[in-house]
Amino acid sequence: MKFLKIAGLVLVLAIASLLLYGLFVPNQYSVLEKVIIDRPIEEVYAFTKNLKNQDQYSKWQLMDPEMEHYYEGEDGTVGFVSGWKSQNPDVGHGEQEIIAIQEMERIDYELRFFEPFEAKDKAYMTFSSLGPNQTEVAWGFEGNMAYPMNLMIPLMGMEQMIGDDFTVGLENLKRLLEK
């Protein structure tokens, strides 16, 4: 009986310590990954501007090629929405909307996740010409997790996990455009 009391006390203290730690963990995080593509900026930008093309290079699309898609509006313009619904819990259900475009420089998106959790975050892609046949593409993400879910940021390595997924997507984009 004494062992159960001690084990219970240790468990309560561990949970309390974790929750206390969560008070000091930032609830915002960001990710930025880059790749250099040996193609002119006009070609790279024209391809990536259309959200439907992400189906060809996004890691999440490649995780479930059978996922359902829906689209609203004109692709490559502000207000276009690309939605997905997957049976794979790692991909989930959500949508992405183009919310701002700076031609040949930057595209901003709002990501709305519905399953397996609800969240609304920002993502963006930027484009820089490094020469007549070379373009740097950066893919960024700005997330927010309220307490106590913010504990997932350091415990699950959210920044590293999303960064790795962006790196895979950017490398896929590079291979696709350099063919």
pLDDT band with cut points at 50, 70 and 90 for residue 154 = low
pTM: 0.81
In the prediction, which pLDDT does 108 show? 97
Say yes or no to pLDDT of 150 above 60.
no
Mean per-residue pLDDT of the chain? 86
Per-residue pLDDT averaged across 21-25, rounded? Answer: 63
Per-residue pLDDT averaged across 42-52, rounded? Answer: 96
* Backbone CA torsion sign across 44, 49, 53, 56: positive
In the prediction, which pLDDT does 105 show? 97
In the prediction, which pLDDT does 152 show? 67
In the prediction, which pLDDT does 17 show? 67
Per-residue pLDDT averaged across 63-91, rounded? Answer: 90
* Backbone CA torsion sign across 112, 117, 119, 125: negative
Residue 120 pairs with which residues in a beta bridge?
112
Q: What class is the 28-178 domain?
A: alpha beta
In the prediction, which pLDDT does 30 show? 79
